[in-house]
Amino acid sequence: MYRILVSDKLGAAALKRLQEFSDVAADVRIGLGRDQLQEIIPDYDALIVRSGTQVTADILAAAKRLRVVGRAGVGTDNIDVKAATMNGVVVMNTPGANSMATAEMTLALMLAAGRNIPQAHASLKAGEWQRGDFVGTQLYGKTLGIIGFGRVGKLVSERAKAFGMEILVYDPVIMEETARDLGILLVELDDLLAESDFVTLHAALVPATTNLLNGESFARMKDGAILINAARGKLLDEFALAEALKSGKLAAAAVDVYSAEPPGDENPLIGLPNVVHTPHLGASTREAQRDVGIQIVTQVVSALRGSDFTYAVNLPFDIEGNYADIKPYLELAETLGRLHAGLADKPVKRIEIEVYGDVVGNLVRAIGAGMLKGVLAQSSDVSVNYINAPILAHERGITTTQTIGINNQDYPNLVASRAIWDGEERLLAGVLFGGSEPRIVQIDEYRLEAKPEGLVLVMRNLDVPGVIGQVGTLLASHGVNIGEWRLGRVCPGGEAMSFINLDTMPGEATLRELANIEAVTHARVVSL
């Protein structure tokens, strides 16, 4: 039974969804203090939060059982993602569920600031009729600069085009081809600021984007431009923005997010007459609140079950497409890693991975993480997963290389790996039959097709008559049943490699007798 703690308001639909999982026990504890959370978190497998709960390094250190932190929303500012990664905790968000709400909020703020709607509303309520004081600017024919072109940025672009706006985009990770296909113009940040009548922020908050817009940025903007921020408050310097608004450099701003929330009296934007303020309402629609809650609940349970890690922000690889299509290759890589660790005489120090084929060529980083997980699984004193495997490997001095080779003639998608330790090495290669069934197809120079499952006796022997009978008889005499025996050899009369699936673990006495068979040169049992 998985225990999940919900520490922020999630919504009735999401809580109902939690109750529908037969393998989940959920506790809802809203308003926990830091000490309270730290005290109870060791009892839980997963934690679901919004923006209120601060998931600090101390909390994560205390959460020995914790495997997943789910954020109902996009931003993970309140979660120490680095500490979570070090502890092998998956951090997930819901980037798509509230994108539409945030995009619509951006357009609403743009219209409100451009047409002075809040100011006109307040004036009329005060008994005034000052039409001439609130002459605005229309969107049609204007240039909109979008900083950050993820889901929200794209939705804003589509809707701004309907208003007849020209679109400029700054996003360092967007390719020119993608921009052309979407009918947008990709430009440098300085050019966007200089040419845009409206500028809207939709970038993620990371160290590189903190105060992305500052005094120098505002000085480069077009005179009379309008700024909208419905992303993150710390993307801009609020004091510099206030000065640009006071001086008339910028005509107006619309702000839904703040560097500190709620904003205090020290916030320089509060009280400025040409600023439209809302209290972080970007995702606050009934539909978005419902959807992010249901989505994060589903994601967290899937992650606990190991069936899906889509939208995990700290995976060391990207998930493109359906995770179910990726998972078999991750498991194949993990199996190869376990086999490497089990066959090596000493701790593995280096893994050289080479993949062949169009499918695995797109999964090289994922395969690397899976293989490291397998290598470390049996020898680590902490739980190893895809999240922390690269970190733990680095701490142990294990290095990796990952390359893409020319398509293999024998198999459409092949994963080859060479483990190196103390001057010795071993080559393993594996494939998926039918897209899901793992097979070991090479051990060193020996070709075979073996099922890597359960207990496996890997044996090197002289290719002479009677060896198979001797080994089989010995195992049978000790009550060890053989499930399947696969053998590969380079040439008749040389050495051969056997991959023997066993139903039970041979005892020490059995293994000693096996080693005493003259034709057997090496034998080891590995649990896969």
Supply the DSSP string of 124-168, one letter for each residue. Answer: HHTT---GGGG----STT-EEEEE--SHHHHHHHHHHHHTT-EEE
Tell me the C-alpha distance between 160 and 182, whole Å: 13
Q: With a threshold of 0.85, does the pTM exceed it?
A: no
Q: What is the pLDDT along the chain (528 residues), one digit of tens a residue?
A: 999 999 999 889 999 999 999 999 999 999 899 999 999 999 999 999 998 899 999 999 999 999 999 999 887 889 999 999 988 899 999 987 788 999 999 999 999 999 999 999 999 999 999 898 899 999 999 999 999 998 899 999 999 999 999 999 999 878 777 778 878 899 999 999 999 999 999 998 888 899 999 999 999 999 999 999 999 999 999 999 999 999 999 999 999 999 998 998 899 999 999 999 999 999 888 888 889 999 999 999 999 998 888 889 888 887 776 788 888 999 999 999 999 999 998 889 999 999 988 888 888 888 999 999 999 987 766 678 888 888 889 888 999 998 887 666 678 889 999 999 988 999 999 999 988 899 999 999 999 999 999 999 999 999 899 999 999 999 999 999 999 999 998 888 889 999 999 999 999 989 999 989 999 999 999 998
DSSP state of 267: -
Let me know if the fold of 2-97+288-305 is the same as that of 99-277: yes
DSSP 39-79: HHGGG-SEEEE-SSS-B-HHHHHH-TT--EEEESSS--TTB
Question: Cβ(482)–Cβ(472) under 8 Å?
Answer: yes
The angle formed by the CA atoms of residues 131, 132 and 137, to the nearest 5 degrees, is: 95
Residue 195 annotated in active site:
no
Structure tokens at 308: 């899906």
- In three-state secondary structure terms, 493 is coil
| Candidates 280, 365, 478, 524; catalytic one | 280
Is 512 assigned a catalytic role? no
Spot the catalytic one: 188, 216, 261, 484: 261
Cis peptide upstream of residue 438 (ω within 30 degrees of 0): no
Distance, CA of 183 to CA of 193 (rounded, Å): 19
Report the first-to-last Cα separation within the chain, whole angstroms: 25
Based on its alpha-carbon atoms, the radius of gyration of the chain, rounded to whole angstroms, reads 30
Cα distances (Å, whole numbers) of residue 440 to 335, 364, 463:
9, 18, 20
Residue 261 is a catalytic residue: yes
**Rounded CA separation 319/316 (Å):** 10
Q: Listing from the earlier edge strand, what are the strands of the sheet with 46-49?
A: 24-28, 2-6, 46-49, 68-71, 90-92
Three-class SS of residue 188? coil
Token code pair at residue 374: 């397998």
CB distance 201 to 235 below 8 Å: yes
| 3-class state of residue 176 by DSSP | helix
CATH of 318-444, one of 1.20.200.10, 3.40.50.1950, 3.40.630.10, 3.30.1330.90: 3.30.1330.90
CB burial string 172-209: b at 16+ within 10 A, e below: eebeeeebeeeebebbebeebbebbbbbbbbbbbeeeb
Select from 417, 415, 435 the least CA-distant residue to 426.
417
CATH architecture classification, 2-97+288-305: 3-Layer(aba) Sandwich (3.40)
CATH H-level superfamily of 453-528: ACT domain (3.30.70.260)
Neighbours of 512 (CB within 10 A): 10
Tokens of 80: 């120490």
The matching CATH number, chosen from 3.40.50.720, 3.40.50.1820, 1.10.3470.10, 3.20.20.450, for 99-277 is 3.40.50.720
Distance between CA 289 and CA 490 in Å, rounded? Answer: 63
Catalytic residue among 232, 340, 439, 486: 232
Q: Where are the domains of the chain?
A: 2-97+288-305, 99-277, 318-444, 453-528
Number of H helices, E strands in the chain: 18, 22
Helix (H) or strand (E) holding 190: helix 189-195
